[in-house]
Structure 1
Amino acid sequence: MPPRWSRVPTRQDPDFRRLDDRMTFAVHVALFAASNSGIWFVRTVQAQSWPWSIWVTAIWFAALVAHGLVIFAIADYSKK
């Protein structure tokens, strides 16, 4: 059962914003893992030489790292 939020959730609430950003990051990680594992599985099984798969993985990983830095290091969740 998902956790219950004790008050009305809004993006102005710092606790809710932190939770929402982290859940969005988790979805980003899951999509990265699922998509890239599928690409690399098909590439390996079919012995394809897809040069674009390296670029897709590298660029998406860089975006994932940037997203993580923003969420965990840069974002300010203090009350305004």
Structure 2
Amino acid sequence: MPPRWPREPDRKDPDYRKIDDRMNFAIHVAIAASINSGLWFFHILKATAWEWLPGVTLSWTGILLVHLIYIAAIANYSDPSKSI
């Protein structure tokens, strides 16, 4: 059963922005994992080496790490309408 949002979804709502960013990150991780695992699977099956594959995997992992740091530590999810 998919998660349900108790009120009208609005990007101005801090709770909605937070869950939306986390679900976005989860989708990015799933896409990266599926593409990288497929590339490594075919790399193992092939007789020739793909020298560029570790670089692609490390780069993609670095991008995901930066994305995680942003949503976990940098993103401001406070409500701007409630500021003093």
TM-score under structure 2 normalisation?
0.89
Aligned residues: 80
Matching residue of 1:12: 12
Is residue 28 of structure 1 aligned with residue 34 of structure 2? no
TM-score under structure 1 normalisation?
0.93
Matching residue of 2:49: 49
- Computed over aligned residues only, the root mean square deviation of the Cα atoms, in angstroms, reads 0.9
Partner of 1:76: helix, strand, or coil? coil
% identical equivalent positions: 51
Q: Which runs of 5+ in 2 are unaligned?
A: none
Structure 1 outlier segments of 4+, above 4 Å: none
